[in-house]
Amino acid sequence: MEYEENDRYAEAFGKYNLNVNEENVCRTIEKIRSLKSGPTKDELSKLLGYLDYTSLKSTDSDETILEMTERINRFFSSHPDIPAFAAVCVYPCYAETVSKSLEIEDMHTACVSGGFPSSQTATEVKIAETAMAIHDGADEIDIVMPVGRFLSGEYEYIADEMQELKDVCNDRTLKVILETSLLGNLSNVKKAAIMAMYSGADFIKTSTGKENSIATPEAFLVMCQAIKEYAAETGRKVGIKAAGGISSINDAFLYCQIVKETLGKEWLNKSLFRIGTSRLAGQLIAEICGEKDVI
């Protein structure tokens, strides 16, 4: 069902053009691709500092997560001249392990929560899981917008749930994953982005990387455009995170270029821009300092 005219989000939606011209988006992406051939060494270092280093495997355990965290500590402690990851992202049951063992200044503990990756559980369960993650040391929470409810037009339900989770997070960072490749079209991507921001999201994020859900430059550009329009309307800056299927340095650099060209250089810092990945970290470290298999 579509939102009702008296729905409190109808007014918010009415402030934005939600009919995205997909051909224009594709042309803009190609133009951005042509601007620069590849990152400099300084830009490679900055890319490393935007990463949320992520381990979300079924085989994770307290032992493997602790070993991973200790490897991160050793590498960045011995390379203080290289920007450290923005965060380490794990399941909520490992929040305490990461938060108590991380020794790198300004590197945050992030947790997926709220029935990740499907978001198919009760709001009360999502609230409890999020509260437990924060209690155990999570600085940042990544939740998934319930895609099925969005496609069914249950906007009030989704908005209420996201606002409740933001209330639980309080001053912690809340990232809302839109699952852009499951939304059907770019107009829905923009609508979901607007809804998430009006519901309190501090970041909007492309994808979980699960169920063939991946980031695309086109969806990411539309999200950047929505953030720009929202900031102009409200004065509030919302961050953006690309995640899901980002496996090469050139792919990651393209997302940086989209941010720079759409939102400006002021968004190119870890407070407003992230890339969620683990496999990319090793490639970047090898390019920056020639070391392999260190993390």
pLDDT digits (tens, 9 = 90+) for 253-269: 999 999 999 999 999 99
Q: Is 205 a catalytic residue?
A: yes
- Confidence bin at 159 (pLDDT 50/70/90): very high
- Confidence bin at 5 (pLDDT 50/70/90): very low
Q: What average pLDDT does this structure show over 196-203? A: 97
Summarised one tens digit per residue, pLDDT across range 137-157 is 999 999 999 999 999 999 999
Q: Is residue 243 scored above 50 in pLDDT? A: yes
Q: What average pLDDT does this structure show over 28-56? A: 94
Indicate which residue of 166, 175, 190, 205 is catalytic.
Answer: 205
Indicate which residue of 52, 139, 142, 202 is catalytic.
Answer: 142
Is the link from the previous residue into 117 a cis peptide, with omega within 30 of 0? yes
CB atoms within 10 A of CB 274: 28
CA angle 209, 210, 214 (to 5 degrees): 35
Indicate which residue of 46, 175, 241, 260 is catalytic.
Answer: 241
Report the b/e string of 18-37 with b at 16+ CB within 10 A: bebeeeebeebbeebeeeee
Q: Residue 8: what pLDDT?
A: 66
CB atoms within 10 A of CB 261: 15
Q: Is 265 a catalytic residue?
A: no
Q: Is 241 a catalytic residue?
A: yes
Q: Where are the alpha helices (DSSP H) in 199-278?
A: 217-234, 249-262
